[in-house]
Amino acid sequence: MGSSDCYAYRVSIILPLYNGEKWLEECLNSVLEQTFDQRIQLCVYNDASTDSSMNVLNAYSGRLAKKKIELVLTQGDIEGGPKGCGYAKNRAVASSSGEYLCFLDADDIMEKERIHEQLIAAMETSEDTLIGSKVKREPEGSTVRYTKWINEISQEQLYTQIYTSNGPSVVMPTWFCHRNVYDKVGGFNEGGKGVPEDYLFFLEHLKLGGKILRVDRVLLMYRHHPDATTASVSENTIWKIRIEVIQERVLKDWKQFTIWNAGKQGRKFYRDLTDENREKVSAFCDVDTKKIDKGVYIFENSPLKVKPRVPILHFSKAVKPFVICMKLDLTGGEFEKNLNSLNLVEGVDYFHFN
């Protein structure tokens, strides 16, 4: 289906819903206020909510109809309990008939121009592009470093900074794409609570040659609260995914490399590599004189009789390429200044793993 004439709707909003009554009115108001003047479909999958979410949704059905927004509601099995975000998104997409999919969470609020702006961007690029946007955070001032990263990394860094602990460089609540993107990936992982279905989808999209793009306008209010689904995903789960993917997509092509950071994170990264990739580590590098004076890291837990010994060098004496195991914006700019002094090319001479 390559033409918009083949679809019943230009855009389907995909809204998984589970116990969202606290925020749902604001979310639905943002749907009603869209400036996009073509027919819209709002596809909601109610994932066994036990609060008053359905009462809120039913109260809005008439207002949605007046705006010519078709509400497609699919109900989960309350007795069976919630099946998770991936399952809910897949069921909402299955109920949709739009050419483009606009993903929305019940606790977030779209800017009035969101669909209009992202559809323009989608029509100006290829159908295999996953499109996001800048965000504003609520409460204001929460997750400052993360929000800065979402909004300020360059279009090129959307591709190179996919191995960090931040997850997808185009953040899930802002996703907008042609249906082909979803179909090619094959939908979201349905493993349920604790599974980062958005990150897995994002990585598979890139693996299949998909493109990513950010509209450089704030088009979404991205709410931060302790009940958010992302809070159920452990750092260890994300770590295992990241280390597997960076080995598969980067390290397999390197003959040797340096780990930037001889501290806790750098050593953990080294220990968790495969035997083959661990042998490629030529050195650790750092600025800490105590670590540098020690001169070597000994992998005491190695099963080998002769324990691997890895030199620890000052960063200025280390050899590229690098895997950077340092978090950004935590040293008053000193780390960034040191990195920039080497005149390296991100995505070629180094990748961030922080």
Residue 2 has pLDDT above 50, yes or no: no
Residue 310 has pLDDT above 90, yes or no: yes
Banded pLDDT at 3 (limits 50, 70, 90): low
The confidence score (pLDDT) of residue 224 equals 87
pLDDT tens per residue, range 234-243: 999 999 999 9
**Contact call for residues 55 and 22 (beta carbons, < 8 A):** no
pLDDT tens per residue, range 152-181: 999 999 999 999 999 999 999 999 999 999
Residue closest to 222 by CA, chosen among 73, 35, 30: 30
CATH code at 4-234: 3.90.550.10
- DSSP E strands, the chain: 9-17, 40-46, 69-75, 98-103, 109-110, 129-138, 176-178, 211-223, 257-260, 281-286, 296-298, 309-314, 322-324, 350-352
How far is residue 57's CA from residue 52's CA, in Å, rounded to a whole number?
Answer: 9
Residues contacting 141, CB < 8 A, separation 6+: none
**Mean pLDDT of all residues belonging to the chain:** 94
Residue closest to 76 by CA, chosen among 97, 94, 100: 94
Banded pLDDT at 80 (limits 50, 70, 90): confident
Residue 330 has pLDDT above 90, yes or no: no
Percent of the chain with pLDDT strictly greater than 90: 85
The confidence score (pLDDT) of residue 230 equals 65
Task: Give the mean pLDDT of 141-156.
Answer: 93
Percent of the chain with pLDDT strictly greater than 70: 97
Residues contacting 100, CB < 8 A, separation 6+: 10, 11, 12, 119, 122, 176, 177, 178, 179
The confidence score (pLDDT) of residue 1 equals 41
The confidence score (pLDDT) of residue 22 equals 94
pLDDT tens per residue, range 194-237: 899 999 999 999 999 999 999 999 999 999 877 666 667 899 99
Residue 262 has pLDDT above 70, yes or no: yes
Give the start-to-end residue ranges of the domains of the chain: 4-234, 250-352
Banded pLDDT at 151 (limits 50, 70, 90): very high
